[in-house]
Amino acid sequence: MADTSLNPFVRAQQSFKEAVETLGLESAVYEILKQPLRTFEVAVPFIRDDGTLQVFTGYRVQHNDALGPTKGGLRFHPGVNADEVKALAMWMSVKCALLGLPYGGGKGGIACDVDQLSEGEIERLSREYIRAVSLVIGPDKDIPAPDVSTNPQIMAWMVDEFSRIRGENTFGLITGKPLVIGGSRGRVEATGRGLVFATRQLATEMGIDFAKARVAVQGFGNVGSIAATIAYAMGASVLAVSDKDGGLYSASGIDIHDLLEYKRVNRGFAGYPQAEPIENRELLELPVDILFPAALENQITADNAPNIQAKIVGEGANGPTTPEADAILFDKGVMVVPDVLGNSGGVTVSYFEWVQNQTRLYWSEDEVNQRLEEYMSRAISDMHRMHERFGVTHRKAAYLVATDRLAEAMRVRGWLK
Ligand code: NAD
């Protein structure tokens, strides 16, 4: 029989089941949450540069809208399939409920390889996707955002297409837009910044002074490089960083601004003179206070979890720790900032972007960052309370907070009887 333990959809279902049982909720809560309320599979035909027509498969999944319109990214990747999109939509329900956002979880995508498409083809594909799903999305229904291989330019084409269909500018349709058409200040940095906020708060609760902490960061893209930069600015020593081509280590700490400049000029880390090369595997096992996995899923496994020396693992990536490794880290007393909290800064500032679009009142970056910290801080306290009340991991505690909120919304709306 196939091993379903790493199937994200099965994992998401199990997490909801455990949460419903732990909280002693009505079984109807699980019966509703165990699958999305709506799954749309659409054919997306578009014209290639050579004039031929090609059809890709697209998805939009709306997991649960008891708390408000659904919200979640759009992914362009060859591996996009219905189960993956459903699981990602379920995780978005957890993130939004945990952060106290007035949203349910959604997700979407197109199974395609953007590396094989020209810019013009990506634009036509993006516009066709919006036409295909235009009846089921909207600022008060379901609000997409960027995800893997989609970006602010793609969001701009999409909001333009939707606005043409509606016959009016509808900036609140989508978040992660360029600033000039209703994007939010602080949105690009939000995920890395939120990760550092959350980790710093939990470090303080553990008696670790974040300003003196030793940090290692796996992945130096949007999330990892911003987290490293902000941690460094707060006084932490970033001893190691890595990307897909390898890593760097310095026992006395890396000057992140200097490294960013080196990387910009040399298009990579290779040859950086102020640090030694290090393997990704070694980076994960360094004697540091805080480890930020901010690259890929399934990086901390039953094989390397026993060797992890960090006191806190702040998950920037989605699913970097396998369930087996999670149990090992819990037994070792390693505090894990679970991905649903650790990388929720992005959706939180997406919510702020939508609020700014709906009210037409735009905030300064300081206002955005201050509100982000408030939302993250409240979510951490709620999660920590559940952790102490039920003696479960922070990941399970995050599910308990979210499931309780979703259940309450469904109960008062009369869905459970
Ligand atoms: P990105 O593409 O900007 O960066 C990914 C980084 O990981 C790159 O530096 C890449 O070189 C590195 N990497 C790839 N393979 C690696 C390996 N084997 N070892 C070490 N490094 C490796 O992506 P991102 O936006 O920073 O996202 C990173 C993770 O965070 C993903 O899991 C993503 O789903 C999650 N996430 C991102 C956001 C966001 O707002 N960007 C929000 C929520 C979750």
Atom of ligand 1 at shortest range from CA of 346: 40
Q: How far apart are CA 175 and CA 146, in angstroms?
A: 8
**Residue 392 above 50 pLDDT?**
yes
Cβ–Cβ under 8 Å, residues 96 and 403: no
Calculate how far, in angstroms, residue 255's C-alpha sits from the geometric centre of ligand 1: 21
**Residue 364 above 50 pLDDT?**
yes
Residue 8: pLDDT band with limits 50, 70, 90: confident
Q: How far apart are CA 9 and CA 39, in angstroms?
A: 13
335-337 β-sheet, strand order: 276-278, 246-249, 237-243, 214-218, 290-293, 312-314, 335-337
pLDDT score for 207: 94
Query: Which tokens go with 311?
Result: 């006191």
> 282, 214, 285, 217: which is closest to 253 by C-alpha?
214
The pLDDT tens digits for 55-100 are: 999 999 999 999 999 999 999 999 999 999 999 999 999 999 999 9
Residue 3: pLDDT band with limits 50, 70, 90: very low
Cβ–Cβ under 8 Å, residues 290 and 311: yes
Q: How far apart are CA 318 and CA 340, in angstroms?
A: 8
Query: Which tokens go with 145?
Result: 């955002």
Q: Do domains 36-168 and 190-337 have the same CATH topology?
A: yes
Q: Give me the percent of the chain exceeding a pLDDT of 70.
A: 99
Atom of ligand 1 at shortest range from CA of 190: 40
The pLDDT tens digits for 13-22 are: 999 999 999 9
Q: What are phi and psi of 183, to 5 degrees?
A: -70, 165
pLDDT score for 297: 86
Calculate how far, in angstroms, residue 396's C-alpha sits from the geometric centre of ligand 1: 24
pLDDT score for 5: 56
**Residue 255 above 80 pLDDT?**
yes
Q: In the predicted model, what is the mean pLDDT of residues 302-331? A: 95
Burial 72-86 (b: 16+ CB within 10 A, else e): bbbbbbeebebebbb
Q: How far apart are CA 120 and CA 104, in angstroms?
A: 33
Atom of ligand 1 at shortest range from CA of 319: 32
Look at ligand 1, atom 43, and give the residue with the nearest C-alpha: 343
Residue 230: pLDDT band with limits 50, 70, 90: very high
190-337 maps to CATH 3.90.1260.10: no
Q: How far apart are CA 49 and CA 26, in angstroms?
A: 54
Tokens 């979703």 identify what position?
406
Residue 328: pLDDT band with limits 50, 70, 90: very high
CATH number of 36-168: 3.40.50.10860
Q: Give me the percent of the chain exceeding a pLDDT of 90.
A: 93
Q: In the predicted model, what is the mean pLDDT of residues 399-403? A: 98
DSSP 138: B
Query: Which tokens go with 345?
Result: 């800064």
Residue 6: pLDDT band with limits 50, 70, 90: low
| Contacts of residue 101, Cβ cutoff 8 Å, sequence gap at least 6 | 67, 68, 71, 95, 347, 348, 351, 375
3-state SS class at 128: helix
Look at ligand 1, atom 29, and give the residue with the nearest C-alpha: 317
Which residue of 191, 229, 264 sits with most ligand 1 atoms within 8 Å of its CB, as the best mutation to test the pocket? 191
> 381, 343, 348, 352: which is closest to 195 by C-alpha?
343
Determine how many CB atoms are found less than 10 A away from the CB of residue 389. Answer: 11
**Residue 283 above 50 pLDDT?**
yes
Cβ–Cβ under 8 Å, residues 78 and 57: no
Query: Which tokens go with 191?
Result: 């995920």
Task: List the domain boundaries for the chain.
Answer: 36-168, 190-337
Of 116-125, 158-167, 321-330, least confident by mean pLDDT is: 321-330
Tokens 């992005």 identify what position?
346
Of 36-40, 106-110, 295-299, 356-360, least confident by mean pLDDT is: 295-299
Question: What residues line ligand 1, using a CB cutoff of 6 Å?
Answer: 191, 218-224, 242-244, 280, 294-296, 316-318, 343, 346
**Residue 4 above 80 pLDDT?**
no
107 flagged as catalytic:
yes
40: which strand partners?
Answer: 60
Which residue of 222, 264, 285 sits with most ligand 1 atoms within 8 Å of its CB, as the best mutation to test the pocket? 222
Cβ–Cβ under 8 Å, residues 63 and 89: yes
List 107, 177, 311, 396, catalytic entry: 107
pLDDT score for 2: 42
Q: How far apart are CA 5 and CA 325, in angstroms?
A: 13
Going from the C-alpha of 380 to that of each of 196, 315, 336, 342, 377, the distances in angstroms are 12, 14, 12, 10, 5
Q: How far apart are CA 344 and CA 190, in angstroms?
A: 9
Q: Where are the alpha helices (DSSP H) in 39-81?
A: none
